[in-house]
Amino acid sequence: MDLLRHLRHFVVVARELHFGRAAEALGMAQPPLSQSIQRLERELAVELFDRSRRQVRLTTAGQLLLGEAEELLAGERRVRHLMRQVREGALGVFRAGVPPETPAVTLRALLDRLAAAAPGLDVDLHELTTGEQVRMLAEGRLDAGLLHHPVQADGLRFGPPVDVPVGVLLPRASPLARPREVALADLAGLDLVGPPRPTAPGWYDHVLDVCRRQGFTPRRVRPARNPEFIFGLLLAGGAVALEPAASARLQPRIAWRPLVGAPLVKRTSAAWPDRSAHPAAVMFAQLAAEVLAAEEPPPPAPVVPSARPWPVLFDTTHH
C-alpha cells in the first residue's frame, strides 16, 4: 500500500471534514477518495472518521493520526527537497582540480561564486596539473577540472573556453624588453623555461611547434614549475618564458611583452567525465569561465627603457 498517498488524502479530508470538498481540493472524484480512506482504516485497523452523523467528524484515532501524518508528510517533503538539491548539484561533495599557477584572486573569486550559487555544496579543491587532472578524471577521482588545451583524452566533456594571449617573460634590463612587442624569431639562441611536458603534454607540444614555425628553436628547454625558480632562471640571463601577462605581476624585475602577431593563445576550460557526471559540473564550468575571463588583467603598459620601476631619491642637503 502507498501509505504516504493515503495519508495525504486523509489529511485533506481531516482539514475539510467534507469528502466532496476534499475530493475537489485533491482534484479527484469522491468515490476513489472514500475508497482510499477506507483502505487506510483497514490497514491501521481503526476508524478515522465518525460517519454516523450528517457532519463528518474525526474519531480519537483520527485526531491522533492527523498530527503524526502532517509531521510525516512534512518529512517526506524535506527528503524530496534534499534529494532534489543533490541531483541539481547544490549539496554533497564536489571534487575539482585547478592548475597550480591559478592566481589567488582567481581562486578566491571562483570559490565565492560557487558558494553563492550552491551554499550547501562542499567543494574539495585540488592543485593539479592538466596531465594529473586528465588521469584523475579518467579514474573517477575528480568530478571536474580546469585544463589547458589542447587535450587529447576520450570520455570528457568541456565547458566554455577562455583564451588568454601568451607573451614573453624576460628581465626588465634585457634589450629585448625595450620594444612594445617581441617576435618569436628575436628569441633565437635563448633557452626556453617552462613546465615539463607531463604537466600538459598537448600545450607543451603546441608551444614548441609554434616557436619552431615562427623561427625560434630554443637552445635548451629547461623544465621549471615553481614561479620563483622560473624567475630565478630568467634573471640569471640567457632564457625566456612564454606565459600570460598575469605571471609578470609576481616579480617586479620581470617584464612581459606581447608577441608580434599573437601566435600563441592559452586556452583553458573546465572538463568533466561524459558518463556519470556530477550534477554541479556544468555550473562549475560556467562559473569558472566567467571568473577566468573577468580576472585576466589587461597587458601592462610598456616601460620606457630609461624609466625605473621604483622612485629614486637624492639628498640635496649639503653638510
C-alpha cell at 63: 485526531
pLDDT number for residue 87? 73
Q: Are 289 and 110 in contact (CB under 8 A)?
A: no
Grade residue 229 by pLDDT with cuts at 50, 70 and 90. very high
Amino acid at 167: G
In 3-state terms, what secondary structure has residue 181? Answer: coil
Long-range Cβ pairs for the range 263-266 (8 Å, 24+):
263/184, 263/210, 263/214, 264/165, 264/166, 264/207, 264/210, 265/163, 265/164, 265/165, 265/166, 266/148, 266/163, 266/164, 266/165, 266/166, 266/203
Domains of the chain with CATH codes = 3-87 (1.10.10.10), 92-161+269-295 (3.40.190.10), 163-267 (3.40.190.10)
Grade residue 158 by pLDDT with cuts at 50, 70 and 90. very high
Phi-psi region of 17 (alpha: psi -120 to 50; beta: other; left: phi over 0): left
How many Cβ atoms sit within 10 Å of the Cβ of residue 33?
21
Type and span of the H or E element at 267: strand 265-273
Q: Estimate the share of the chain in helix, then strand, then coil, as percent rounded to the nearest 5.
A: 45, 20, 35
Max avg pLDDT among 124-133, 271-280, 296-305 = 124-133
Q: How far is CA 97 from the centre of its chain?
A: 9
Query: Could you tell me which residues come within 8 angstroms of residue 270 by beta carbon, excluding any fewer than 6 positions away?
Result: 144, 145, 146, 147, 158, 159, 281, 284, 285, 288, 289
Q: What is the mean pLDDT of residues 267-280?
A: 92
The yes-or-no verdict on residue 75 having pLDDT over 90 is no
Grade residue 53 by pLDDT with cuts at 50, 70 and 90. confident
